[in-house]
A and B are shown apart, each in its own frame.
Chain A
Amino acid sequence: MTALQTVQITRRVDPHLSIDRYDPEGELMLLHFGPQHPSTHGVFRMDLYLDGEKVVKVIPHVGYLHRAVEKLCETLAYVQITPIVDKNDYVAPMTNEQALNMAFEAALKLEVPRRARWMRTLFAELQRIASHLLWLGTFALDLGGALGGGSTVFIHCFRERELVLDLFEEVTGARFHYNTHTIGGNRHDLPAGWSAKVHAALDVIGPRLDEYEAMTLENRIFLDRTVGVGKLDAELALELGITGPILRACGVDHDLRRDAPFHAYDEVKVNVVTAQGGDCLARAQVRLGEMRESVRLVRQMVDGVPEGSINSGKPVKLPVQTKIPPGQVYVAIETPRGELGTYLVSDGTQFPYRLKIRPPSLHALSALPYIVPGGTVSDAVAILGSLDPIMGEVDR
């Protein structure tokens, strides 16, 4: 870690810089990066204005995966929306379902049974491990095959991610898009002997996190590509609404699991992982630390899941007739990517009048015009990978 340097951020980059004013005589090159590019994590486009190899201005273009989810939700009954939002953040579907159903429960003032709360927390933490593993694998791919030759880190991370997916598959029957949360609780109870399998999976994953740290944080090439790249200062991150690991990598100690507890997070102690620097390395450090913390939390909780009902409701004939009182409600949870919120406007019927999903990735991407200029094209790839955007929830 001797290669750590500090880059002083003197003034904020102008995201709406006029190219004509930059250098009237200079020959700038316009490079279209995406929408189809292996390191855009889906379909995302950046227009990079280049002065030689140096990026002068960035115009991000989103919307290539705009699937009209919010319009679709207005036409669906409340219990039908859960499988729709699964597809938003498709790397962490469990947390999508939680954020949505918690908003409905808050609007209905419905208490979720303690067992269901613990199960949701367990699922969220396991999902965090799976999501960060996928991020680490693809981020290492973005940084080039130099990390251990070819796609070593990618292959390793997917090996462990499958273990987590197997656990979910045993509970819900699906590898992802689980549709296991519903209004008032969960649909699927934990099968017998599940906690032993969780411990067995964590016995594999836990020690391998050390391997990943050795492969990345002690790798000279990894450090060269990440240290001081994409520096984001805390004040700008807050203004942009950036949350989650990216904000914590700027040194801001903020995590909704601890600061606005939901589910069972008020019954366990969550250690918030932060890092200093706000660069790509700090983001990697935070995510690797969070995986350890999640392993610890799951180990702590999995044996103590309380007995009882998993759904607070009594059986009804027509679940699609669920009505929510008129009013507006906003509920947010901490997903692997940050604050995922649901803003619900209800008109008293069984359909939402307006359902706005507040995705953490959209806010993360809005930092690109500030942090990419000044770097090179290869830095742009590293920065984009370190933000961990999921285009499904960016565009919705």
Chain B
Amino acid sequence: MGVKTVDDGAAFEHPLYRTLLSVPGLTVATTALDQVLTWGMSNALWVFPMATSCCGIEFMATAASRVDIDRMGTIVRATPRQADVMVVAGTITVKMASRVKKLWDQMPEPKWCIAMGSCAISGDFYRNLYSVVPGVDTFLPVDVYVPGCPPSPEALMHGFLRLQEKIRKSRKGETVTPETNSELLRVTRPSIPRMVDHERTPEMDRAQIESADIATEVEVTPAVHASLAPEPTELASNISGPDLPAVLTELGIAATGELGPPLVPARRHLEVASRLKSRGYRQLVSVVATHWVPGTARKGKVPDEPEHFEVSYLLRTVGAGSRVATWAVRLAPGEPVASLFQLFAGADWQEREQYDLVGVMFADHPDLRRLMMPENYDRHPLRRDLPANLPYAPWR
């Protein structure tokens, strides 16, 4: 990156350098050659889409029929080795960041980077969460920022035009004027070190960091919205279907629990599941674990109830009049519950997810590994006593 001026060149001086400079007409020829190279570089930007999420869809729309960036020589290549520009389109998580860096390192020089969308620029509203990188410029040198959530194809097109301008000017030793539209620069960014980039000034960053405090406050404006029960007095709907009480009676289980699905003793919940399956509940819908911690719930549970987990299971019948049956199991911290894997193969991933995020143990699970977070992660982030912005080096 960076602009190579004559002064920079002195550091790499070749024995023949001065001799060549004295050849008449050679400097003119090399300047002309340089102009041809610049023309070629800026008009044949081959793009490597680092498309992870929503912005990737708008990137595809930019490459597709209506906008068609092929018109400006911008061809999408799926491999870093044939690309000049990396477009980071979408949220980059801590699990993905090292892969992005590796792919960036595989791209041959000269190369440029476009951060497309709020997530790639600053992490957007995910930026303070435990698994998200707050801006891709914390580890990549970004040349052009395209704001939006997601930016429209036209905005990305504009970003490419600005990049072309930057390439042309920087190869001539000129600087590029940043966007004059201050609205475009109102992107909130946490105060962590960024890679050096050429367009952004420290003042600009400081102004944005200061504005971040304002922007994160909830804006409360009188608006027309649903008016809602001011003080709740009655329970929300009971979500278990009509067949579950019959099954529980058959098995002689006295279900307890209010404010939620019936609570079944942990040692008998496999019986409930298999009985429901034989009654037509053949589809595993979901497994949901909730961590109850005293003091975190204001209503709904007795505040001085000890810490515990509640794992809810949802099964569904197939076809006309489809119904859901839900029951829950209450567990003390560290107490395992039997896995449903032998009855429902889908419990494999569902239980792994709840183990990963909430930290519930499932006995007899064939492969109880983390599903979402990296293998070496040491916390269960959805526990209620943990904050959302759990530290994750080097980003927070």
Q: What is A's interface to B at a CB cutoff of 8 Å?
A: 12, 15-16, 35-38, 42-43, 62-68, 70-72, 74-75, 77, 79-80, 84, 87, 90-91, 106-110, 134, 137-138, 154-156, 158-159, 161-162, 175-177, 182-185, 235-236, 238-243, 252-254, 256, 258-260, 311-320, 322-330, 332, 339, 341, 343, 345-349, 353-354, 356, 358, 362-363, 366, 370, 391-392, 395
Knowing A16-B366, A159-B66, A347-B297 touch, does A67 contact B126 (C-beta < 8 A)? yes
Whether B191 sits at the interface, judged by CB under 8 Å, is: no
Establish whether residues A313 and B372, one from each chain, have CB atoms under 8 Å apart when the complex forms.
no
Establish whether residues A110 and B318, one from each chain, have CB atoms under 8 Å apart when the complex forms.
no
Knowing A42-B52, A330-B314 touch, does A158 contact B64 (C-beta < 8 A)? yes
Give A242 to B388 CA distance when docked, in angstroms: 31
Dominant SS at the A interface?
A: mixed
The residue on B at minimum CB distance from A70 is B382
Name the residue among B132, B234, B283 with the largest chain A CB count within 10 angstroms: B283
Establish whether residues A80 and B218, one from each chain, have CB atoms under 8 Å apart when the complex forms.
yes
**CB neighbours of A314 from chain B (8 A):** 227
Establish whether residues B224 and A175, one from each chain, have CB atoms under 8 Å apart when the complex forms.
no
Give A343 to B289 CA distance when docked, in angstroms: 10
Establish whether residues B126 and A15, one from each chain, have CB atoms under 8 Å apart when the complex forms.
no
Q: Which of B223-260 contact A (CB under 8 A)?
A: 223-239, 259-260
Give A38 to B47 CA distance when docked, in angstroms: 13
Give A35 to B95 CA distance when docked, in angstroms: 10
Give A9 to B129 CA distance when docked, in angstroms: 44
**CB neighbours of B288 from chain A (8 A):** 343, 345, 354, 356
A46 to chain B, nearest CB (A): 14
**CB neighbours of A253 from chain B (8 A):** 319
Residue A315 contacts which of B60, B224, B235 (CB distance < 8 angstroms)? B224
The residue on A at minimum CB distance from B94 is A66
Residue B259 contacts which of A62, A109, A328 (CB distance < 8 angstroms)? A328
Whether B152 sits at the interface, judged by CB under 8 Å, is: yes
Knowing A36-B103, A347-B299, A347-B301 touch, does A322 contact B61 (C-beta < 8 A)? no
Whether B220 sits at the interface, judged by CB under 8 Å, is: yes
**CB neighbours of A43 from chain B (8 A):** 52, 96
Establish whether residues B290 and A353, one from each chain, have CB atoms under 8 Å apart when the complex forms.
yes
Establish whether residues A241 and B232, one from each chain, have CB atoms under 8 Å apart when the complex forms.
no
Establish whether residues B226 and A319, one from each chain, have CB atoms under 8 Å apart when the complex forms.
yes
Establish whether residues A326 and B232, one from each chain, have CB atoms under 8 Å apart when the complex forms.
yes
Whether B78 sits at the interface, judged by CB under 8 Å, is: yes
A-B contact pairs, 29 of them (CB 8 A): A12-B345, A16-B367, A64-B52, A65-B52, A65-B93, A66-B93, A68-B388, A71-B130, A84-B125, A87-B53, A155-B65, A158-B61, A159-B66, A175-B152, A182-B225, A184-B225, A184-B226, A241-B350, A242-B346, A256-B322, A259-B321, A316-B227, A325-B232, A326-B301, A330-B326, A345-B260, A348-B232, A356-B286, A391-B52
Establish whether residues B222 and A317, one from each chain, have CB atoms under 8 Å apart when the complex forms.
yes
Establish whether residues B297 and A353, one from each chain, have CB atoms under 8 Å apart when the complex forms.
yes
Establish whether residues B54 and A183, one from each chain, have CB atoms under 8 Å apart when the complex forms.
no
Knowing A158-B61, A158-B64 touch, does A67 contact B129 (C-beta < 8 A)? yes
